Amino acid sequence: MAQISASAGALLRHVRTGRARSRADLVALTGASRNTVSARVDQLIAANLLAEGGRGWSTGGRPPTLLQFNSRAGCVLAVDLGVTSVDVAVTDLSAQILATVGHPIDIADGPAPVLAEVDRLAQKVLAEAGLAPVDVCAVGVGVPGPVEFSTGRPSHPPIMPGWHDYPIPSAFGRFGCPVYVDNDVNVMALGEVGIAAAPQDVLVVKVGTGIGCGIIVDGRVYRGAQGSAGDIGHIHVAQPDGRTVVCRCGNENCLEAIAGGGALLRDAVAAGLPVSTTREVVELAAQGDGPTLELVRNAGRTIGTVLAALVNFFNPHRIVMTGGVAQAGAPLLAGIREAVYRRSMPLAARALEITVSDAPDLSGRVGAALMAIEEYLDDDAVQQTLAP
Amino acid sequence: MAQISASAGALLRHVRTGRARSRADLVALTGASRNTVSARVDQLIAANLLAEGGRGWSTGGRPPTLLQFNSRAGCVLAVDLGVTSVDVAVTDLSAQILATVGHPIDIADGPAPVLAEVDRLAQKVLAEAGLAPVDVCAVGVGVPGPVEFSTGRPSHPPIMPGWHDYPIPSAFGRFGCPVYVDNDVNVMALGEVGIAAAPQDVLVVKVGTGIGCGIIVDGRVYRGAQGSAGDIGHIHVAQPDGRTVVCRCGNENCLEAIAGGGALLRDAVAAGLPVSTTREVVELAAQGDGPTLELVRNAGRTIGTVLAALVNFFNPHRIVMTGGVAQAGAPLLAGIREAVYRRSMPLAARALEITVSDAPDLSGRVGAALMAIEEYLDDDAVQQTLAP
């Protein structure tokens, strides 16, 4: 639905995303009066978030003065917390990485030592970029487990012992800025979508040990009633041969029990392949080993039957596959596409793109930065600063 | 994500939905300055959309002056176009019906005669309500087929011969106001959700001859990339007995081929029940006929297996069942709930409500009115009128 807003945050978003390059563009785009637009643009210039520079093409009359988003008006810290490693980056306000550093950790050591390490890394990247804590406008953190987004506290995370209900934002108190925490799949989904000029509806499906999905509606993360949206790993899939597989959740024939990384390893071992980790299965497939390729393709088909239903329901612009198993690439995609195109409605499938992530290692950091930037620039604190 | 806007439309929405009752509430809710809020509230009062009246409770200091949405600042026309009948209503700006009238039609007669009848009915309801065409701020129309929302043209509607690509808005030219057209399931979904104070994520599932779903994200219709979101009738469902049913779409074992109204009738006839329409099947179930109850409950179970997956993915606050087969009520709900609670993740299912529509006959008209009202009050035309 058309929801045209001419708030300062909305005008800034139009310039940031490249939809508008001048005051005239903003007037045309929002329907607000020239005076309103100009007053708010002047506020954004005074706040150093917009800059004027150069002249555009004239379409009759005086050529317009071009507006540019000043992505160097501040910086954000982006933290991509994994089970065995953490990456910290400092980026500008367009999520360009200025400095980044990674370090091994063990998430099971609990919040205190892990977040102390994160703080050390944060100081390091800020120093490397020649920035000070006071320059940090916002912090974004992705963690490998469910999070109550409004408080930044993990909620019974299965693979983060000791982290339940821990107030992660408190660890960043010395930056004196907002801190946003979300689960890694939602954060990676933002990273995959980037700062899109055309707000799109996208599914980012992570196939690692488990299977999860980040849902992007109109360029933003969709979380649902309890924040558990995208939890597709436990959708039931019928097995053609009537086989029953018990999932770690206790239910039978969940998607991830049949087609996740753990399942892939189990089936490879059962087939006598010389592997002991999921990564080795993916590497064997990359080497073109026939039986392994067939296992991966079958996992893709199973994932595809679930995605086919979600394509009919959600009608996304695109689906991006990521996570360790997605590194298998072509055979996984082939299986997914086969099932999706066989079972989805033609209208929904016609223009649908299904791809593997280009930069799976970066999307966590870029997504954490984008989460922080988007929340910060839309935040009431900023609105308040800018309101007349 | 927090997207705090203090545009006039946003302030109006807060008062309309009961979230704010005073300028102070609006300041607290949006984070905008007292001056900004007051200036925009004054504009809304000048435009007759808000009125001041009475005093609220003081929480220290002078008691606040209460703000009220003036739902009689204008009216909208709501048109619920069915296959065999049309209902037209005139409502105020809070979707209260002021006058309504229905008439039998045959949608297959094509747009010209059907829309001429709609125009006759529109004149009648306006006269009954003591209103003139010039009082109409917007028109909302629901039709039984897919529609390109941006143009209001049906797109290859299977049961509306002659309507493909017809510009429905042109039929309302004499009202000189915006006209919004959408498919009946999306419109009914808005009608079920109403003007919710708490924006919710809701699925409205219509089980008639076919099966479709209206998706409400944060109180608004979600449409997807090609506008086909919610097309759940052709999601594949595995049959426990390995049976294969060919769907009218050409694919096998689509949800509606197994559990839609047509399928229910087919199975009832095959079981030797004395019925010749789906309505008779639903009536037999309402009378407590054992074999019919079992058929309906089984259809519910099948629908529930699909909804269980969608609950994991979408994590809705609630699911509302509507359409002719939903009239069967308890046995259908029992089957649906059984499958959903068995197969959905506990977190997503915990607080989920699954109900049957209270007022299935009204939701089409109320939804068409709400679509028109929401679009109209958020529209750039209104924003432009109000912008300083």
Choose from A39-48, B151-160, B265-274 the range with maximum mean pLDDT. Answer: B265-274
Does B308 score more than 80 pLDDT? yes
Of A1, A4, A309, the CB nearest to B236: A309
Residue by residue, DSSP assigns B228-267 as: -TT-GGG-B---TT----B-TTS-BSBHHHHHSHHHHHHH
Q: How many CA atoms lie within 13 A of B288 on its CB side?
A: 0
Does B240 score more than 80 pLDDT? no
Q: Can you give the pLDDT at residue A67?
A: 92
**What confidence tier does A387 reach under pLDDT thresholds 50, 70, 90?**
very low
- Are B7 and A6 a contacting pair at CB < 8 A? yes
- Are A220 and B1 a contacting pair at CB < 8 A? yes
A158–chain B Cβ distance below 8 A for any pair: no
In this prediction, residues A305-312 reach a mean pLDDT of: 96
**What confidence tier does B8 reach under pLDDT thresholds 50, 70, 90?**
confident
- Are B235 and A200 a contacting pair at CB < 8 A? no
Q: With CA atoms as reference, report the closest residue to B258 among B278, B237, B277.
A: B237
Distance from CA of A62 to the nearest CA of B (A): 24
In this prediction, residues A352-360 reach a mean pLDDT of: 92
Of B10, B215, B348, the CB nearest to A231: B348
Question: Looking at beta carbons, which residues of chain A come within 8 Å of B219?
Answer: none
Residue with the larger pLDDT of the pair A104 and A351? A104
CA A277, A281, A284, A290 torsion: positive or negative?
positive
DSSP B133: G
The Cα B77–Cα B169 span in angstroms is 12
Phi, psi values for residue B133, rounded to 5°: -50, -35
**Beta carbons of A351 and A319 less than 8 angstroms apart:** no
Q: Can you give the pLDDT at residue B4?
A: 44
Q: Quick one: CATH architecture of A75-177+363-384?
A: 2-Layer Sandwich (3.30)
What is the average pLDDT score of chain B? 89
Q: Can you give the pLDDT at residue A250?
A: 87
Say if B75-177+363-384 and B198-357 have the same CATH topology: yes
Alpha helices in B92-145 (DSSP H): 111-128
Dihedral-angle region of residue A111 (phi above 0 means left; psi in -120 to 50 means alpha; beta otherwise): alpha
The Cα B364–Cα B377 span in angstroms is 20
B212 bridge partner residues: B206
In chain B, % of residues over pLDDT 90: 65
Residues 313-342 of B with CB under 8 A from A: 313-317
The single-letter code of the amino acid at B387 is: A
Question: Looking at beta carbons, which residues of chain B come within 8 Å of A232?
Answer: 309, 312-313
> CATH fold of A197-357, please?
Nucleotidyltransferase; domain 5 (3.30.420)
Does A114 score more than 50 pLDDT? yes
A385–chain B Cβ distance below 8 A for any pair: no
Q: Can you give the pLDDT at residue B57?
A: 61
**What confidence tier does A58 reach under pLDDT thresholds 50, 70, 90?**
low
Q: Can you give the pLDDT at residue A3?
A: 35
Which residues, in sequence order, are CB contacts of A226 under 8 Å at separation 6+? Answer: B315, B347, B348, B350, B351
B234–chain A Cβ distance below 8 A for any pair: yes
Q: Are strands A318-322 and A353-356 parallel, antiparallel or unpaired?
A: parallel
Does B280 score more than 60 pLDDT? yes
**Cα angle for residues A54, A60, A64 (degrees, 5° grid):** 20
Question: Looking at beta carbons, which residues of chain B come within 8 Å of A377?
Answer: none
**Nearest-CA residue of chain B relative to A339?**
B236
**Cα angle for residues B133, B138, B142 (degrees, 5° grid):** 110
Distance from CA of B130 to the nearest CA of A (A): 31
**Beta carbons of B296 and B285 less than 8 angstroms apart:** yes
CA-based R_g, chain B, Å: 23
Q: How far is the CA of B336 from the CAs of A149, A253, B205, B237, B298, in angstroms?
A: 30, 20, 11, 14, 9
Does B10 score more than 90 pLDDT? no
For B113-129, what is each residue's pLDDT tens digit? 999 999 999 999 999 99
**Cα angle for residues A355, A356, A358 (degrees, 5° grid):** 115
Helix axes of A23-30 and A8-16: crossing angle, nearest 10 degrees: 120
- Are B235 and A309 a contacting pair at CB < 8 A? yes
Q: Can you give the pLDDT at residue A381?
A: 45
Does B388 score more than 50 pLDDT? no
**What confidence tier does B194 reach under pLDDT thresholds 50, 70, 90?**
confident
In this prediction, residues B207-214 reach a mean pLDDT of: 93
In this prediction, residues A48-56 reach a mean pLDDT of: 80
**Cα angle for residues B232, B237, B243 (degrees, 5° grid):** 140
A241–chain B Cβ distance below 8 A for any pair: no
The Cα A375–Cα A120 span in angstroms is 25
Q: CATH number of the domain at B198-357, please?
A: 3.30.420.40
Stretch (H or E) spanning B87: strand B85-92
The single-letter code of the amino acid at A124 is: K
Q: Can you give the pLDDT at residue A124?
A: 97
Tell me how far the alpha carbon of residue B53 is from its chain's centroid: 32
Q: Are strands A85-92 and A97-104 parallel, antiparallel or unpaired?
A: antiparallel
For A6-50, what is each residue's pLDDT tens digit? 678 888 888 888 889 999 988 888 777 788 888 889 988 988 889
Does B243 score more than 90 pLDDT? no
Question: What is the token pair recorded at B162?
Answer: 């002659």
- Are A309 and B312 a contacting pair at CB < 8 A? no
Lowest mean pLDDT among A71-75, B45-49, B196-200, B314-318: B196-200
Q: Can you give the pLDDT at residue A5?
A: 59
Q: If you search the block for the tokens 């920035």, which residue do you land on?
A: A131
Q: Can you give the pLDDT at residue B130?
A: 96
In chain A, % of residues over pLDDT 90: 65
B366–chain A Cβ distance below 8 A for any pair: no
Which residues, in sequence order, are CB contacts of B321 under 8 Å at separation 6+? Answer: B205, B207, B332, B333, B336, B354, B355, B356, B357
In this prediction, residues A162-169 reach a mean pLDDT of: 96
Residue with the larger pLDDT of the pair B247 and A56? B247
pTM as predicted: 0.87
In this prediction, residues B202-230 reach a mean pLDDT of: 93
For A213-249, what is each residue's pLDDT tens digit? 999 998 889 999 989 999 999 999 988 788 899 998 8
Residue with the larger pLDDT of the pair A117 and B39? A117
**What confidence tier does B306 reach under pLDDT thresholds 50, 70, 90?**
very high
Q: Can you give the pLDDT at residue A143?
A: 96
For A372-385, what is each residue's pLDDT tens digit? 998 888 754 455 55
What is the average pLDDT score of chain A? 89
Q: Is the ipTM of this complex over 0.90?
A: no
B7–chain A Cβ distance below 8 A for any pair: yes
B343–chain A Cβ distance below 8 A for any pair: yes
Does B387 score more than 60 pLDDT? no
In this prediction, residues B139-164 reach a mean pLDDT of: 92
**What confidence tier does A2 reach under pLDDT thresholds 50, 70, 90?**
very low
In this prediction, residues B132-150 reach a mean pLDDT of: 94
Residue with the larger pLDDT of the pair B13 and B362? B362
- Residue ranges of domains in chain B: 8-70, 75-177+363-384, 198-357
Q: CATH number of the domain at A8-70, please?
A: 1.10.10.10
Q: With CA atoms as reference, report the closest residue to A366 among A236, A193, A228, A157.
A: A193
Secondary structure of chain A as H, E, C letters: CCCCCCCHHHHHHHHHCCCCCCHHHHHHHHCCCHHHHHHHHHHHHHCCCEEEEEECCCCCCCCCEEEEECCCCCEEEEEEECCCEEEEEEEECCCCEEEEEEEECCHHHCHHHHHHHHHHHHHHHHHHCCCCHHHEEEEEEEECCCEECCCCEECCCCCCCCCCCCCHHHHHHHHCCCEEEEEHHHHHHHHHHCCCCCCCCEEEEEECCCEEEEEEECCEECCCCCCCCCCHHHCECCCCCCCCCECCCCCECEHHHHHCHHHHHHHHHHCCCCCCCHHHHHHHHHCCCHHHHHHHHHHHHHHHHHHHHHHHHHCCCEEEEECHHHHHCHHHHHHHHHHHHHHCCHHHHHCCEEEECCCHHHHHHHHHHHHHHHHHHHCHHHHHHHCC
The Cα B157–Cα B366 span in angstroms is 23
Which residues, in sequence order, are CB contacts of A6 under 8 Å at separation 6+? Answer: A26, A30, A31, A32, A36, A37, A40, B7, B383, B387
Of A2, A228, A374, the CB nearest to B347: A228
Residue by residue, DSSP assigns B333-351 as: HHHHHHHHHHHS-HHHHHT
In this prediction, residues A310-317 reach a mean pLDDT of: 96
- Are B30 and A351 a contacting pair at CB < 8 A? no
Alpha helices in B275-358 (DSSP H): 278-286, 290-314, 330-343, 346-350
For B16-55, what is each residue's pLDDT tens digit? 888 899 999 888 887 777 888 888 899 889 888 899 876 6
Q: If you search the block for the tokens 């999601």, which residue do you land on?
A: B235
